[in-house]
């Protein structure tokens, strides 16, 4: 008995250490981004940095306005969520509640395969297929645009939304659905008025994960969005995201330019934290 208790204590200590390491990594990243990102914001000026409309970091008189990057990331993420969330959610409901076991197994394998595809492959396929298709379909000079980035991101967030939503829906007790059906509700009414509300926390977490994937993606959108620091005035405008602004210039940056890139990373980090905090706040308030 004492031996078993000792083993349990050791395992508990290992899990505690691993959890503290995870929290510590988050804290280190947060502190490092704050220390590295704030000096450039103070030097450039908060208003000029956040609301400036021009980015020319290598010009003789450099400009460090990141408003185009912020709006591009916001529009791109919203567009991807508008397209990807309904498709992913409906697919999850179908696979969890309506599909036969054989169909569910096959489609889940396909979704897992989709999740394992590297970002650069999404970008390559988008660059070779989607970009020329947009150019021909809409008769625009260049298909590398915000629209292409939105479509690629919508596909990329599908696996996360589908897999986590299925897990949440499968966890709903079957007694809930049986009771609804016994009261005369149809299967469709039961799925959407009983199962989905019961699994809303897991589905919301899936959406948050999809938002994080969309905001944090760099390689794929760099290949299909044009990577030009324009204001996103049109879906067919070549644009640059916050992530691609950092990844495309960090290799040769120095001085204030490098500090400004760290500031962009800090802004991106704050965006993700605010989204997570906001969703957790609303979910907790609704539970209360």
pLDDT in tens, the chain (288 residues): 567 788 888 889 899 999 999 999 989 998 998 998 899 999 999 899 999 999 988 888 888 999 999 999 999 999 999 999 999 999 999 999 888 889 988 998 898 888 888 889 999 999 999 999 999 999 888 889 999 999 999 999 999 899 999 999 998 888 988 898 888 888 899 999 999 988 888 888 888 888 888 888 888 999 999 888 899 999 999 999 999 988 888 878 888 888 999 999 999 888 888 877 777 776 666 555
> Cα dist. 287→194, 198, 284 in Å?
16, 11, 5
Alpha carbon distance 1, 5 (integer Å): 6
Alpha carbon distance 32, 41 (integer Å): 15
Residues 241-279: b if buried by 16+ CB within 10 A, e if exposed: bbbbbbebbeeebeebbbbbbbbbbbbbbebeeebeeeb
The domain locations on the chain are: 2-50, 67-287
| pTM for this model (two decimals) | 0.88
Alpha carbon distance 201, 135 (integer Å): 40
User: Can you give the length of the chain in residues?
Assistant: 288
67-287 homologous superfamily: MetI-like (1.10.3720.10)
């Amino acid at each position: 008995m004492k031996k078993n208790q000792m083993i349990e204590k050791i395992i508990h200590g290992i899990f505690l250490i691993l959890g503290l390491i995870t929290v510590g990594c988050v804290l280190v990243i947060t502190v490092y981004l704050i220390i590295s990102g704030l000096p450039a914001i103070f030097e450039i000026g908060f208003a000029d940095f956040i609301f400036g409309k021009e980015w020319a970091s290598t010009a003789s008189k450099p400009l460090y306005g990141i408003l185009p990057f912020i709006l591009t990331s916001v529009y791109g993420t919203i567009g991807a969520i508008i397209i990807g969330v309904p498709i992913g959610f409906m697919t999850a409901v179908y696979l969890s509640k309506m599909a036969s076991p054989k169909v569910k197994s096959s489609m889940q394998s396909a979704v897992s395969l989709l999740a394992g595809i590297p970002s650069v492959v999404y970008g390559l396929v988008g660059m070779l297929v989607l970009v020329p298709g947009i150019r021909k379909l809409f008769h625009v000079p260049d298909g590398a645009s915000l629209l292409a980035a939105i479509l690629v991101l919508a596909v990329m967030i599908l696996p996360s939304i589908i897999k986590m939503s299925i897990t949440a829906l499968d966890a709903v007790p079957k007694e809930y659905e049986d009771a609804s059906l016994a009261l005369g509700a149809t299967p469709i009414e039961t799925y959407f008025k009983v199962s989905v509300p019961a699994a809303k926390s897991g589905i919301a977490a899936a959406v948050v994960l999809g938002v994080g994937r969309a905001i944090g993606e760099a390689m794929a959108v760099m290949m299909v969005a044009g990577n030009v620091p324009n204001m996103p005035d049109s879906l067919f405008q070549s644009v640059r995201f916050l992530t691609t602004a950092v990844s495309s210039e960090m290799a040769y940056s120095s001085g204030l330019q490098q500090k400004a890139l760290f500031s962009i990373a800090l802004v991106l980090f704050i965006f993700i934290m605010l989204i997570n905090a906001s969703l957790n706040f609303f979910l907790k308030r609704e539970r209360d």
